[in-house]
Amino acid sequence: MGQKKIFGIVLAGGEGKRLMPLTMDRAKPAVPFGGQYRLIDFALSNLVNSGITKIVVLTQYKSHSLDRHISNTWRLPAMLNSYVASVPAQQRLGKRWFSGSADAIHQSLNLIHDEKPDVVVVVGADHVYRMDFGQMIESHLESGLGATVAAIRQPLELSNQFGVIDVDPEDPGRIREFLEKPSNATGLPDSPGEILASMGNYVFDADKLVEAVVRDAEDETSSNDMGGDIIPGFVANGDCGVYDLNRNLVPGATPRDRFYWRDVGTIDSFYDAHMDLISTLPIFNLYNESWPIFSQQLNSPPAKFVRDSRGSTGTMIDSIISLGSVISGAHIERSVLGPWNKVESGSTVVDSILFDGVNVRPGAVVRRAILDKGVVVQEGASVGIDREHDLRRGFTVTDSGLTVVQKFGIVEP
């Protein structure tokens, strides 16, 4: 990156309606993930590991939990002039909130003016992946273009699920057209069975980003969205490049997880991403010491596994158990348990995700369920077994059969 001044902006104001009820009381980037992490930790870890240490997080929707997590966790050394700062909507341009991701940057241009960076990296806060942004910035600078979009290869048949990047066959590094969930996309010149899907991560020349968001704010027909308005504007001017994640080499990555990227915007995708963590050779490896995912260091004792009053030790298979949890004579399989869980004698937790402070009492059964913070499953109760029964009790059940119990919910026998 040479002597270029780099500034990071994390867009973290999303409401996350498709993740309800997990976002009922918190912003989407603040949703717990993988036991001890929050979703935003993945974006911030990638930026910091890439050497970007001046970062602002633009927040808006129910941001208290997110703001507190950033304040408690992301304290970079001030003597090195480094910081991660949570910046709420400030209404600098009038008494209104952010109307979109581009408007969030427009209303926060004072941050760019103060730092005077050469390059601005703009990333989302709700994806699970590893990426070295330093390599993308180098590619951007070499291209001479005003904007660069990070992209990941996906099967052609999934093109209607993504923003698809159509590259110029004569200049594969330049975007010819940006297509939103097309039904008739064509494959890549070097791989006809694949398309390039936008990852929602961008690199801009700072002055051109400022010009673009100011111009967008003056357009009354715009939806003020980065992917929907700003990037298509750069593409229309022939000033937008693409960076294929296939080119990105992250230290410590394995062939199995090197190109991993998950948009965890729905309950089902959120669940599937957790299941990717727990196999013997995980599809996404949390144990990469060369490119760690940073998070809050909990002041908690280790997890503890004890015999119950009957002398049963229980069983733990293919699962993640976080700090502070006590497992007493229970069976836990293919599950992810957050901090300070208590799973008691004779209970069963299978194919499930438990957030922090969940209590599964003796003889209870939890299957294919997500239990939010502080949920109590009463003695002998079950959840995730009977779809209609779960619906009658007011729990959320997805079309695939996943049951979600909201924060501090009680599961009665």
Q: For tokens 């003597």, what's the residue?
A: 79
Q: What's the mean per-residue pLDDT of the chain?
A: 90
- 407 pLDDT tier (thresholds 50, 70, 90): very high
Q: What is the pTM of this model?
A: 0.92
- 204 pLDDT tier (thresholds 50, 70, 90): very high
Q: What is the rounded CA–CA span in Å between residue 72 and residue 161? A: 36
Q: Is the pLDDT of residue 251 over 70?
A: yes
Q: Is the pLDDT of residue 338 over 60?
A: yes
Query: Strand pairing of 171-180 and 163-168?
Result: antiparallel
Residue 157 near residue 62, CB atoms below 8 Å: no
Say if residue 198 carries a ligand binding annotation.
yes
> Which stretch of 119-133, 185-199, 364-378 has the lowest confidence by average pLDDT?
185-199
Q: What is the CATH code for 304-411?
A: 2.160.10.10
> Would you tell me how many other CB atoms lie within 10 Å of the CB of residue 36?
21
Cα-based distances in Å from 98 to 50, 114, 160, 217, 280 = 28, 20, 28, 11, 43
- The average pLDDT across 187-211 equals 91
Give per-residue pLDDT as tens, 18-50. Answer: 899 999 989 899 999 999 999 999 999 999 999
- 367 pLDDT tier (thresholds 50, 70, 90): very high
Q: Which fold has domain 6-275?
A: Spore Coat Polysaccharide Biosynthesis Protein SpsA; Chain A (3.90.550)
Q: What is the rounded CA–CA span in Å between residue 52 and residue 2? A: 13
Say if residue 220 carries a ligand binding annotation.
no
3-state secondary structure of 39: coil
Max CA distance (Å), the chain: 72
| Domain regions of the chain by residue span | 6-275, 304-411
> Which stretch of 236-245, 348-357, 365-374 has the lowest confidence by average pLDDT?
236-245
- The average pLDDT across 384-395 equals 95
- The average pLDDT across 95-102 equals 74
Say if residue 300 carries a ligand binding annotation.
no
- The average pLDDT across 357-369 equals 97
Say if residue 208 carries a ligand binding annotation.
no
High-pLDDT (> 70) share of the chain, %: 97
